[in-house]
Amino acid sequence: MKKVLFFSLLASLAIMISSFKPSLKTDYGPWQRISCYGGIEFCTKRVSNEPPMYEWKVKIRNNYRTTVNFGFEIKEGSVNATRTTNRTTIKAGEVFETYQYLYDANNVKLFLDKLRFGDDYGKYAPCDIH
């Protein structure tokens, strides 16, 4: 009887250890400035812990005094360049929130291009950080 109880406890402990997952961030990380546009910032947090893909939430903040429109893409931290396939509009002072499933559990990058101020037509704005 003692052996059965001992092995039952041992099996229960093994199941608890194998299903342990590190805790996730409950808050977003610090705001980070986009390298090309000084008035755009973003922050991230990982909200799932289910390999092989992890869900990341991303907030993008418009600190300009006017509406901005731009293309963006969220990728793994190891990616250095990509084509943007998403587009959004953010009014002055507002925050846009989105999510992406990625293979990287530790780092993400936000790629942003084709930014326009005001209405979403005409020429794209050049970088304002040099």
| Cβ atoms < 10 Å from Cβ of 40 | 23
DSSP state for residue 119 in the 8-state scheme? S
Tens digits of residue pLDDT in 115-128? 999 999 999 999 99
**Residue 58: CATH number of its domain:** 2.60.40
| Assigned domain for 129 exists | no
Radius of gyration, alpha carbons of the chain: 21
**Per the omega criterion (within 30 degrees of 0), is the bond before 22 cis?**
no
| Assigned domain for 11 exists | no
| Assigned domain for 56 exists | yes
| Assigned domain for 59 exists | yes
Tens digits of residue pLDDT in 13-40? 333 333 333 446 679 999 999 989 999 9
Instruction: Give the pLDDT of residue 20.
Output: 34
Instruction: Give the pLDDT of residue 6.
Output: 41
Residue range(s) defining the domain that contains residue 46: 22-117
Is a pLDDT exceeding 90 seen at residue 3?
Answer: no
| Assigned domain for 8 exists | no
| Assigned domain for 26 exists | yes
Number of structural domains (the chain) is: 1
| Assigned domain for 83 exists | yes
